[in-house]
Amino acid sequence: MGSGADATSVPSVGAYAADLVVQARGDARAFDRLMRAHERQVFTVAWRLLGRVEDAQDAAQEVFLRLYRHLDRFDPTRPLAPWLYRVTINVCRDLGRRRNVRKAVSLEEAEQARPLESVDPASDPGAVASLAEERRIAEQALATLADKERAALVLRDVEGLTTAEVARALGSSEPTVRSQICRARLKMKKYRDWKLRRPLR
């Protein structure tokens, strides 16, 4: 039913999001709502790419500043998320070059961005320590990846984008993205095995 509506709708944005983009062009409150709707997405990607909470916050500010500047050129019928991913990756790349960002993430910074949830330290302190160590190793492994591999892996495995969506966000092809993700996962596993002193199979 309603095939005409299906043909003109943009499921990844929705009518509300499209209207919000239009409203945000001249309404500070609407832009604030638009920013709040996407700030977690932008911050998470930036933090994963840069490795420091304060750098991720700076990157997110720059991303939304660019959005504000170019909002009048944006087609509201198109999904906003892929554009935000693309800009976030570019901003992080520029910021990393300018600041020579430290890639290793400290446990304290990791917990500030995402606390150790679902584990009761009183009932199982060993599990908390084990989870913290696993997370620390994962962040260190992520930092060893090449920029393009890290970006592809974060968008695919952390953000949950499809391979096609990752390719569009990175301006790349699907085969290239699949290769980058495969290499990144293998490097992550090798690093984890090395840190835990487990022999590779």
Whether 179 has a pLDDT exceeding 90, the answer reads yes
- CATH code of residue 175: 1.10.10.10
Domain range holding 97? Answer: 11-103
Q: What is the mean pLDDT of residues 193-201?
A: 66
Note whether 148 and 79 are same-domain residues: no
Q: Which of 78, 103, 128 is the last residue of a domain?
A: 103
Whether 173 has a pLDDT exceeding 70, the answer reads yes
Note whether 89 and 171 are same-domain residues: no
Note whether 36 and 99 are same-domain residues: yes
Q: Is the pTM of this model over 0.85?
A: no
Does residue 137 fall inside a structural domain?
Answer: no
Whether 115 has a pLDDT exceeding 80, the answer reads no
Whether 105 has a pLDDT exceeding 90, the answer reads no
Cβ atoms within 10 A of the Cβ of 28, count?
9
Q: Which two tokens stand for residue 47?
A: 């933090």
Whether 5 has a pLDDT exceeding 90, the answer reads no
Instruction: Tell me the C-alpha distance between 146 and 180, whole Å.
Output: 9
Note whether 93 and 168 are same-domain residues: no
Least confident range of 94-103, 167-176, 184-193: 94-103
Does residue 112 fall inside a structural domain?
Answer: no
Position 22 scores a pLDDT of 82
Q: Which two tokens stand for residue 45?
A: 């990607």
Note whether 28 and 98 are same-domain residues: yes
Does residue 161 fall inside a structural domain?
Answer: yes
- For the chain, what is the radius of gyration of the CA atoms? 19
- Say which residue, 96 or 170, is predicted with more confidence: 170
Note whether 40 and 89 are same-domain residues: yes
Position 175 scores a pLDDT of 94
- CA separation (Å) from 148 to 125, 143, 167, 184? 37, 12, 11, 9
**What confidence tens digit (pLDDT) does each residue in 54-67 have?**
889 999 999 999 99
Number of domains in the chain: 2
- CATH code of residue 63: 1.10.1740.10
**What confidence tens digit (pLDDT) does each residue in 121-171 have?**
455 555 556 667 777 788 888 888 888 999 999 999 888 889 998 998 888
The overall average pLDDT reported for the chain is 76
- Say which residue, 104 or 74, is predicted with more confidence: 74
Position 127 scores a pLDDT of 54
Q: Which of 103, 119, 152 is the last residue of a domain?
A: 103
146 secondary structure, DSSP code? -
- The helix/strand/coil state of 119 is coil
Whether 85 has a pLDDT exceeding 70, the answer reads yes
